[in-house]
Amino acid sequence: MMITGTPEEQAATRKKILNRLRRAQGQLAGVITAMEAGGSCRDVVTQLAAVTSALDRAGFAIISTAMRDCVVDPEAAEAAEGLTTEELEKLFLSLA
C-alpha cells in the first residue's frame, strides 16, 4: 500500500491502520471465546458489532489514504497501486 507524506507521516498512518486491524483481531478472538464458552447472545452480538466496526474503520482508513495519495499524485498512485480513480471509488463503495 502506497502512503505519501514524510517517512514519519507514513509510519504513523501505517501504525494507525495496523492498530485498528489488531484491535479487530482481538475482538474477533473475544467472539470466538464467547461462542466456545456458550456466552450470551447479547455478549456475542456486541463483540461481533465491535469487530465489524473496527474492520469498517480500517477499510475506510485504507481507502481514504489511497484516495488522498491519488489527489496528491494520481500518476504515481496508479503506478504504485495499480488502481484507477474509478477502481478506488468502487472499493470505497464496497465498504458501504
What is the pLDDT tens value at each position of the chain, 96 positions in all? 667 677 888 889 889 999 999 999 999 999 999 999 999 999 999 999 999 999 998 888 888 887 777 777 767 666 666 777 788 778 878 877
Residue ranges covered by each domain of the chain: 8-94
Of 1.20.58.1000, 3.40.640.10, 3.40.50.150, 3.40.50.300, the CATH number of 8-94 is 1.20.58.1000
DSSP state for residue 95 in the 8-state scheme = T
The pTM score is: 0.72
DSSP state for residue 5 in the 8-state scheme = S
Q: What share of the chain is helix, strand, coil (3-state, %, to 5)?
A: 85, 0, 15
- For residue 28, what pLDDT is reported? 95
- For residue 94, what pLDDT is reported? 83
Instruction: State the CB neighbour count (10 A cutoff) for residue 62.
Output: 19
